[in-house]
């Protein structure tokens, strides 16, 4: 695959890097600490974690074999301090069991699409350039976006666009997709982008950036099962963190951030029945919120890296064992 012959570091600017490191730092300074980068990508966050915390060991997960290969080159100088695994982040418990790591001190999720996937046109993630409609983060398995468009029932397509893309014009877009796919199956992104432009009323085209953005997001989430995997991954990752350990999550759209917020809120409030004069230990919160709401990137960072603009950062500390 091509990386345009640029150094890996130039292909990827880790989002909110300094703040993420600061939030994880208290848990990773001690010798023997293990941190898991659940979304390795091109390894930008992982490289910074390994260089900033020289006593820490890193486990990096990614479902994309191409990303694992490039990140492996980038992290090679750190030797056996970095262990990279081909896995989806909801497979974290199995990975830790296989590596005989009972508990970890830090976990990082940097959700969404990696720079590698966006910049390699043939992956089909970007609506701004024509490419095969693939969108699989792991191209060795699962249905492509084209197969979803060409085979799903109209009702299922409408549901996906509404639920995962928050697309108000889902029914109108799907009606045109069904009509067009009967003439010729979809294979490339440009045809879908053109169809969406034709399907939307003028008012809808004037707001929210590229009109194809929401449909492409919805297809990507469906193809990769992202929200279902995240729903499983967040509680599993929190369970893997030792008391005193920390987790940071970077989200890039409201559906991800809402899930993270709910999981963190549940863990950081007591679960006692109402009216108890004293809250017993088993009902006490097991998490402490480290961020007030979701933190945003600075204007300076967004000016330097436009992909940071939608980022939302939340973090928690594990303060006690589960009951």
For the chain, give every domain's residue range: 8-116+226-318, 122-224
What one-character DSSP code corresponds to residue 313? E
Instruction: Inform me whether the pLDDT recorded for 7 exceeds 60.
Output: no
Q: What pLDDT is attached to residue 58?
A: 98
Query: According to CATH, what is the number of the domain 122-224?
Result: 1.10.150.170
3-state helix, strand, coil split of the chain in percent (to 5) is: 50, 15, 35
Could you tell me the pLDDT band of residue 13, with boundaries at 50, 70 and 90?
A: confident
Mean pLDDT of 30-58: 95
Instruction: Inform me whether the pLDDT recorded for 11 exceeds 70.
Output: no
Q: What pLDDT is attached to residue 1?
A: 38
Instruction: Please give the Cα distance from 30 to 38 (Å, whole number).
Output: 21
Instruction: Please give the Cα distance from 117 to 106 (Å, whole number).
Output: 26
Q: What pLDDT is attached to residue 3?
A: 43
pTM for the full predicted model: 0.86
Phi (first) and psi of residue 77, to 5 degrees: -60, -20
Q: What pLDDT is attached to residue 205?
A: 61
Instruction: Inform me whether the pLDDT recorded for 118 exceeds 90.
Output: no
Q: Which CATH architecture has domain 8-116+226-318?
A: 3-Layer(aba) Sandwich (3.40)
Q: From residue 58, give the alpha-carbon distance in Å to each of 51, 52, 124, 208.
A: 11, 12, 30, 38
Model confidence over 66-94: pLDDT tens digits? 889 999 999 999 999 999 999 999 999 99
Mean pLDDT of 262-278: 83
Could you tell me the pLDDT band of residue 142, with boundaries at 50, 70 and 90?
A: confident
Binding residues: 43-45, 62, 89, 110, 117
Instruction: Please give the Cα distance from 136 to 233 (Å, whole number).
Output: 19
Of 93, 41, 96, nearest to 69 by C-alpha is: 41
The H or E element that residue 65 is part of is helix 65-75
Instruction: Inform me whether the pLDDT recorded for 10 exceeds 60.
Output: no
Binding residues for S-adenosyl-L-methionine: 43-45, 62, 89, 110, 117
């Amino acid at each position: 695959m091509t990386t345009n012959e640029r150094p890996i570091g130039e292909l990827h600017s880790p989002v909110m890097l300094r703040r993420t490191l600061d939030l994880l730092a208290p848990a990773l300074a001690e010798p023997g600490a293990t941190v898991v980068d659940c979304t390795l990508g091109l390894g930008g966050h992982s490289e910074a974690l390994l260089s900033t915390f020289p006593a820490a060991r890193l486990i990096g997960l990614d479902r994309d074999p191409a990303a694992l290969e490039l990140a492996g080159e980038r992290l090679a100088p750190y030797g056996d301090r970095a262990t990279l695994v081909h896995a989806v982040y909801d497979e974290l418990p199995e990975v830790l069991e296989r590596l005989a790591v009972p508990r970890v001190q830090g976990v990082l999720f940097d959700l969404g699409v990696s720079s590698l996937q966006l910049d390699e046109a043939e992956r089909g993630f970007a609506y701004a350039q024509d490419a095969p409609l693939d969108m699989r983060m792991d191209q060795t398995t699962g249905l492509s976006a084209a197969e979803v468009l060409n085979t799903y029932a109209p009702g299922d397509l409408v549901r996906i666009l509404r639920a995962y893309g928050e697309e108000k014009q889902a029914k109108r877009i799907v009606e045109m997709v069904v009509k067009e796919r009967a003439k010729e199956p979809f294979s490339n992104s440009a045809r879908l982008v053109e169809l969406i432009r034709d399907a939307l009323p003028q008012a809808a085209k004037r707001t929210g950036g590229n009109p194809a953005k929401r449909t492409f997001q919805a297809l990507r989430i469906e193809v990769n099962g992202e929200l279902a995997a995240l729903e499983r991954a967040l509680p599993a990752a929190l369970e893997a963190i030792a008391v005193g350990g920390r987790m940071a999550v970077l989200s890039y759209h409201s559906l991800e951030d809402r899930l993270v917020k709910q999981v963190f809120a549940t863990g950081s409030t007591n679960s006692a029945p109402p009216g108890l004069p004293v809250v017993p230990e088993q009902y006490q919160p097991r998490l402490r919120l480290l961020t007030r709401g979701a933190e945003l990137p600075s204007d300076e960072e967004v000016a330097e890296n436009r992909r940071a603009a939608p980022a939302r950062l939340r973090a928690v500390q594990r303060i006690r064992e589960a009951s």
